[in-house]
Copies of this chain bind each other. A is one copy, B any other.
Amino acid sequence: MADLAAHVGVSRQLVSLVLRDAPGASAETRRRVRAAAKELGFSPHVGARSLRRARSKDLGVVFAPAHSTEPEIVEAIYPAASALGYDVMLSAQTSTRSTDEAVDELLGHRCAALVVIGSTVDLRAIARRSHVPVVDVGFGRPNRYYDVVRSSGDLGIEQLVDHLADLGHRGVTYVDPTSMPPGALRRRGYERAVDRRGLTGDLLPVPGDYAAADYFSEAGATAARSLLDRPELPTAVIAPNDDTAVALLHTLIRHGARVPEDLSVAGFDDAPIARTSSVDLTTVRQDPAHLGAAAVRAAVRRVQNPDLHPRETVLDTSLVVRTSTAAPRRPRPRSRTAGQHVESAG
């Protein structure tokens, strides 16, 4: 930094002011300093900066890179954090790297707060030893130790059941990958909606190992084979995540069933694969941008006021109707028009 100052012909502290966007430098000086910094390839040493600064402006984010939905949330966190003046520091949780390791690295960097995405472990111990606010994004339950941000999985499934009931379906089958962490909540939504609408329920549990990379897909394929073994196919099937729904859909199609003519299929997440034209899956969207922004807000709120109690933030989901659902083969008189995109504010 001294080099840079000498090169421009100003003092070091003026360079420091410019580089951290602090007031007290003229526009012309700013320009010259920035130009010189670029020319010399200089960027301030963030280690030294964090050493000296009173409070950190870094948000630590723990995520699983290979997961299908987490990266989208990570991408959304960047602009949200940036808008509040925070930098983002990523730390991956993988098969060879535990949540604790990922958290420790971030703690070493003295992040102001931690956002943990899609964790299946209880973050209580982590929250206690962190000494910084912790936010759980995914499927945590409200507690006194850390903030929880999640979407309303139960209501989302209810939206799906309502959609199918409105189309005229009298029964809806629900594939339940039983070891999926948010599974219980979503299944409750299904049961509630089926009761409320007076539909015939049909629960198809598929056990398995959540840690297996292809558990969701295999669950869909397994469920499809089970349905194909029946004397008659149901008219509508819901799976509580898109990977399972897509595998279900493709396995059914491969065995001669037509979707949506023979049966309707719906998923949950609005993952990228649901949007491709060869799938075009009716699903429930939990907006990654909303989740990311809510997580950042929750973290910053407690950074600014550490005495506040952790909160639960539940985000609305929105039904996304595509061409994998339609009225059943012999539509009832009360069937309505399909194809509407119902959105609810976040």
Contacts and interface: CB of A to CB of B under 8 A. Distances in A.
Given A71-B66, A108-B45, A214 B90 contact: no
Nearest to A345: B323
A224 interface: yes
A280 B221 CA distance: 12
Interface in A230-281: 246-248, 250-251, 253-254, 256, 258, 272-273, 275-280
Contact of A75 (B92, B131, B251, B254): B92
B253 A254 contact: yes
B66 A65 contact: no
Interface stretch (A23-31, A47-55, A150-158): A47-55
A78 B66 contact: no
Nearest to A220: B278
A107 interface: yes
A75 B95 contact: yes
B218 A110 contact: no
A214 B272 contact: yes
A79 B253 CA distance: 41
Nearest to A248: B278
A224 B278 contact: yes
Given A71-B65, A72-B66, A46 B47 contact: yes
A94 interface: yes
Nearest to A48: B51
Given A92-B75, A221-B276, A47 B51 contact: yes
A16 interface: no
B90 A90 contact: yes
A158 to B, nearest CB: 27
A246 B253 CA distance: 14
B96 A276 contact: no
Given A214-B275, A273-B273, A130 B41 contact: yes
Contact of A78 (B96, B104, B218, B253): B96
Contacts of A47: 46-51, 109-110
Interface in A291-329: 323
Interface of A: 38, 41, 43-51, 63, 65-66, 70-72, 74-75, 78-79, 87-88, 90-92, 94-97, 104-105, 107-110, 128-131, 213-214, 217-218, 220-221, 224, 246-248, 250-251, 253-254, 256, 258, 272-273, 275-280, 323, 339-341, 345-346
Given A48-B51, A75-B92, A75-B96, 6 more contacts: A45-B108, A63-B65, A65-B74, A218-B276, A251-B277, A251-B278
25 contacts: A38-B129, A41-B128, A41-B130, A41-B131, A43-B108, A45-B108, A46-B108, A46-B110, A47-B50, A90-B91, A214-B275, A214-B276, A214-B277, A218-B277, A220-B278, A221-B276, A221-B277, A221-B278, A224-B278, A246-B278, A247-B276, A250-B253, A251-B278, A253-B253, A273-B273
A-B residue pairs, 4 tightest by C-beta: A65-B71, A47-B47, A217-B276, A90-B90
